[in-house]
Chain A
Amino acid sequence: MEMKEKNVMIELREMSKSFSTKNGMVHALDKINLKIEKGEIFGIIGMSGAGKSTLVRCINLLERPTEGDVFFDGVNLTALPPAELRKARQSMGMIFQQFNLLMQRTALENVCFPLEIAGVKKEEARKRAEELLEIVGLADRKHSYPSQLSGGQKQRVAIARALTTNPKVLLCDEATSALDPNTTRSILELLKDINKRLGITVVVITHEMSVIEEICQRVAIIDSSKIAELGTVEKIFTTPKSAIGKQLVYSESRPQTNFDDSNTRYCRIVFDGETSFEPVLANMILECQGVVNIMYANTRNIDGQAYGQMVVQLPPDEKMAKKMLAYLEAKHVNFEEVDYV
């Protein structure tokens, strides 16, 4: 038990946050319990207004929880006096959707900023800042002002800035939501690289499943102020349990369509990295001597393994359909009968 706790970087314990507004109390977070492990890339996903931003902002106490505790590397932040809290914050980098760079400072001066705050000497700060701009691939733009940089470049500067103080954690609130798909991919690559190279724990807030899929190892789904589901990305992608999880996973790339002819049966087959999908389907067809109609197929590459799902229309012949399902059962294929795609 004690050993296990040593691997925990961030822990939220029975944490709630309410806002009092003119129209009464808004309960943004309700008794959240969450452990984020050292060195992992942890995703938090949910619909707009679910409470994602509030949750990350509670991690570094930009927002003070109304109830409960926030532990950071074993220290209870909610109990710290202001000066010590500020000190602790220097070990937590944060990047934002809108970059939030100082507009009147150059890229280099922006990256120097946290070091100035921490009281590091000027030349030393400059040297470190230049190293970091190198890491994020912007060494040649160090004298540019934010207004002269593209969105992706601004986010790189923000990442460099967040890393100058050697933080243990990097909090990312919708860090790629203002960027186009290609830039998003490159920023996600950078985050992954930073996580691998520097061993920094990364917390990624997003409303896009694709972001989670791209870089996260574990994910928590937030829905109406609570954690609806939590688990490894593979698990949640292949077998989401909560309603919100199903909605996020299955309807990400297409609108959900219900089939109205109730005579036909459909089956959703899940590929969880243990069965490769081609032989399964081909073998089933050969074995059962019947054909299926592929209604939908989508496979993804998660951490180097194939994951995905496919919805097939079973043959109208009742016996044949049964035979096929039995075959899948026998092969330990993960499947379920569905009435929607």
Chain B
Amino acid sequence: MFKEGILQMLGVGIYESLYMTLISTFVAYVIGLPVGLILVCTDKEGIRPIVWLNKLLGFIVNVLRSVPFLILMITVIPVTRAIMGTTIGSKATIVPLVIGAAPFIARMVESSLKEVDKGVIEAAESMGASPFQIMFKVLLPEAKPSLLVGSAISVTTILAYSAMAGAIGGGGLGAIAMNYGYYRYQEDIMFITVILLVIIVQILQEVGMRIAKISDKRL
């Protein structure tokens, strides 16, 4: 059907897409999770209100979130070069992906943590729990199922972003779809990459949701 070369190319595309997505998701969580936690805790209704910090972080998050991803990718090219030493390929795409996804993840985490019952937090306070103990023993564990759902959504969103990065020199399935479908009019290959992307999204989504469901003790 297809030449050996094309199959191999698709294989590499899948690998690169997953590589970019998973690494970016991980790094974006390393940044976004604490930011989300701080946003919740420093809120004026939170366990340790610090209004200025909350306002500042909220502002930065909103600014980054309001820049369209394609534009963000171009604007951060100097940053990418400084960190990765290059501005093309899948490794280079990780930088804009992280910058684009971290604020999104911070908001996802924030909304998950805000779902935790105020009464439970109050009960912990009544037992003499410190703000840190509340964060790590109440907020995060109680929000775990919701955080996992959030991560399933985040990972698929980041995969979609990574495909978009193909347009300006990123790697992965997005780049293949762009090169063959847009520049060479080989629509069959473009369709295959699209189908592959759909399948990957489905799998990631399904796995994430399952784990979330199993981990939830509320039935």
Chain A interface residues (CB < 8 Å from chain B): 60, 62, 83, 85-90, 92-94, 96, 98, 100-105, 113-114, 116-118, 145-148, 158, 161, 165, 171
Residue B125, interface by CB 8 Å: yes
CA separation between A327 and B142, bound complex, in Å? 68
Q: List 29 A-B contacts (CB under 8 A).
A: A62-B125, A86-B129, A87-B128, A89-B126, A89-B128, A90-B128, A92-B126, A94-B127, A96-B122, A96-B123, A100-B119, A100-B123, A102-B120, A103-B217, A104-B141, A104-B145, A104-B216, A104-B217, A104-B218, A113-B137, A117-B127, A117-B133, A117-B137, A145-B218, A145-B219, A146-B217, A147-B219, A148-B219, A161-B127
Check A113 against B119 for contact (C-beta < 8 Å): no
Contacts of A101 in B (CB 8 A): 120, 123
Query: Across the interface, which residues of A come within 8 angstroms of B119, CB to CB?
Result: 96, 98, 100
Q: Which of B117, B123, B125, B129 is most buried by chain A, counting CB atoms within 10 A of its CB? A: B123
| B121 vs chain A, min Cβ distance (A) | 9
Whether B126 and A147, one on each chain, are in contact in the complex, defined by CB atoms closer than 8 angstroms, is: no
CA distance A98 to B120 in the complex (A): 9
Size class of the contact patch on chain B: 20 to 34
For the complex of A and B, 9 pairs with smallest distance between CB atoms: A89-B128, A86-B128, A100-B123, A100-B119, A94-B126, A145-B217, A114-B127, A90-B128, A147-B219
B130 within 8 A of A: yes
CA distance A158 to B119 in the complex (A): 12
Which residues of chain A are near B123, meaning CB under 8 Å?
A: 94, 96, 100-101, 158
> 10 other contacts beyond A89-B127, A104-B216, with CB at 8 A cut-off?
A60-B126, A90-B128, A94-B127, A96-B119, A101-B120, A104-B142, A104-B144, A113-B127, A117-B137, A145-B219
Given A62-B122, A113-B137: A103 and B218 interface contact (C-beta under 8 Å): yes
Q: Could you say which residues of chain B place their CB within 8 Å of the CB of A145? A: 217-219
B138 within 8 A of A: yes
CA distance A87 to B126 in the complex (A): 10
A144 to B, closest residue via Cβ:
B217
Report Cα–Cα, A88/B127, bound state, in Å. 9
Whether the Cβ atoms of B141 and A102 lie closer than 8 Å is yes
A93 to B219, CA, bound (A): 28
Say yes or no: is B124 at the interface (Cβ < 8 Å to chain A).
yes
